[in-house]
Amino acid sequence: MASGVDVDGVLRGKIMSKSKFLSAVKSDGFGFCSVIFGWDIHDAPYHKELLVSNKANGYRDLIAKIDLSTYRRLPWERNIPFFLCSFVDPETSSPLDVDPRSLLQGVIGQAEELGYKAMAGAEFEYFQFRETPDSIKEKGFAGLNSLTPGMHGYSMLRPTLNSDYFHDLYDEAEKFGVEIEGHHTETGPGVFESALGYTEAYRMADNACLFKLLAKSVGMKYGIIPTFMAKPWGDLPGCSGHIHVSLQDKSGRNIFSLSDADQKAGGRGNAAHKDLKFLSKEAEWFLAGLLEGLADVIPMLCPTINSYKRLLGGEAFWAPDTASYGYESRVASIRIIGPPGSSASAARFEVRVPGADMNPYFAFAAIFGLGLRGIKRRIELPYGPVGSPGVTRGTLPHLPTSLSAATATFKRKDSIAREVFGDLFVDHFAGTREHELALHEKAVTSWEGEREAR
């Protein structure tokens, strides 16, 4: 099986014969219909045709290049071989600007030019329902049966209710080459959290995308449907997709950490704030780059209408809606992790804005793209961490809290997103988000019926 990824983070692929696969490898790719970049998550063509795939170009083929390094087997699909693909423009032979894997690969290439290796981890929270695709449709996606009742984060008892499923998720992920670092119940009825093993960013994005496929596929065996919606219920915590990032040099040393001598001396004397004294200057620049551009790339972190219902919860649900940071702070958008609370080799930033509905390739590209820009420009921090003098919710820059506002900020003429990712990607992705907005504006919801019933 060979599969690429569309702008919504959905895997789109096909099963191929052995001879066809070998031919595609030998000829450096095979034809794949470009319509996967011309329609939405439900296969409806975008209301406004975009440049990559449209009637004018006949929904032409792209070239799908098989990435042999992604080889693994699908244990729940008769153990058949599986490979990921990246897409290439057939006329220029260049990576497709809007292809998620290609976009992230370009950002990682920038890191490599600076002598860095991008490292990352991802955590997913996800509600689960004892339902089938047919039962969910019949219920109109309402009144669903949660996998377990009540709020039981880190429970040692609740997994026993679904022991085979709980352990199958972990074991099948290991077989699939998606290492899980931690796996437990989270707060909410039927919620699990799975933290994926820290690794190189490109593989991490692959693993994050494939974990969703795995969870849904394993769930089918048990009559269980996981959802990676950011906010399934209005009155409960949402589902985060927290991302951990750092940089290494060619020897494997963490660029964000200090030398042993500096640590023993009590940290970096010229740190902008005490929260950063055990991090390097490069880490400080990376953080400043993130803070400066965060608002401009929010659709790459929070891509759906529903994403912003989670952010509207703000600090009440540990879903920050400001461009903030702080040492070991879970109320900040960017949590600093490092000494003295953890080892220097583990120094990193946890970006807490994305929900579980993120497209991991775009989210990682946004974070590393902004951070590397901060290092290149040696951007200084504009303000202190949460809780420092003069830093309040009122003084901090606020992030867009609707897809409409986020898309407008993302696509504006002087957006940092345009500087980092180019006009073609920004215009295409913004167009796909405007399609979502147009569909939402026409929708009549159950809330409206309940609100206006007389």
pLDDT, position 235: 87
Report the run of H or E that residue 207 belongs to, with start and end.
Answer: helix 201-221
Q: What is the DSSP string of 303-330?
A: -STTHHHHHTTGGGGT---BS-EEET-T
Which one of 3.50.50.60, 3.30.590.10, 3.90.1150.10, 3.20.20.140 gives the CATH number of domain 117-448?
A: 3.30.590.10
Token duo for residue 440 = 């939402």
- How far does Cα 306 stand from its chain's mean position? 15
Query: For the chain, what percent of residues have pLDDT higher than 90?
Result: 87
Three-class SS of residue 182?
strand
Say if residue 318's pLDDT is above 80.
no
Residue 106: burial class (beta carbons within 10 Å; 0-12, 13-18, 19+): middle
Bigger pLDDT: 66 vs 49: 66
pLDDT, position 445: 87
Summarize the confidence of residues 352-357 as an average pLDDT. 97
Say if residue 316's pLDDT is above 60.
no
CA–CA separation, 424 and 369 (whole Å): 16
pLDDT in tens, 124-178: 999 999 999 999 999 999 999 999 999 999 999 999 999 999 999 999 999 999 9
What is the CATH topology of the domain spanning 2-94?
Ubiquitin-like (UB roll) (3.10.20)
pLDDT, position 43: 96
- Identify whether the C-beta of residue 333 lies closer than 8 Å to the C-beta of residue 353: yes
CA–CA separation, 205 and 402 (whole Å): 25
Summarize the confidence of residues 360-374 as an average pLDDT. 98
pLDDT, position 309: 93
pLDDT, position 180: 97
Question: Mean pLDDT across the chain, nearest whole number?
Answer: 94
Residue 378 amino acid letter: R
Report the run of H or E that residue 216 belongs to, with start and end.
Answer: helix 201-221
Q: β-strands 61-74, 30-33: how paired? A: antiparallel
Whole-prediction pTM value? 0.96
pLDDT in tens, 69-119: 999 999 999 999 999 999 999 999 999 999 999 999 999 999 999 999 999
pLDDT, position 269: 87
Q: Which of 25-34, 69-78, 170-179, 441-450 has the lowest mean pLDDT?
A: 441-450
Domain ranges, ordered by start, for the chain = 2-94, 117-448
Query: For the chain, what percent of residues have pLDDT higher than 70?
Result: 98
Residue 230 DSSP class: S
pLDDT in tens, 264-308: 888 998 898 999 999 999 999 999 999 999 999 999 999 999 999
pLDDT, position 448: 87
CA nearest 267: which of 338, 187, 178, 198? 338
Residue 448: burial class (beta carbons within 10 Å; 0-12, 13-18, 19+): exposed
pLDDT in tens, 212-250: 999 999 999 999 999 999 999 988 989 999 999 999 999
- Identify whether the C-beta of residue 345 lies closer than 8 Å to the C-beta of residue 119: no
pLDDT, position 313: 62
Q: What is the DSSP string of 333-351?
A: SEEEE-TTTS-GGG-EEEE
| pLDDT grade for 364, boundaries at 50, 70 and 90 | very high
At CB < 8 A and 24+ separation, what contacts does 130-138 make?
130/190, 130/223, 130/224, 131/223, 131/224, 131/225, 132/223, 132/225, 133/225, 136/225
| pLDDT grade for 317, boundaries at 50, 70 and 90 | low
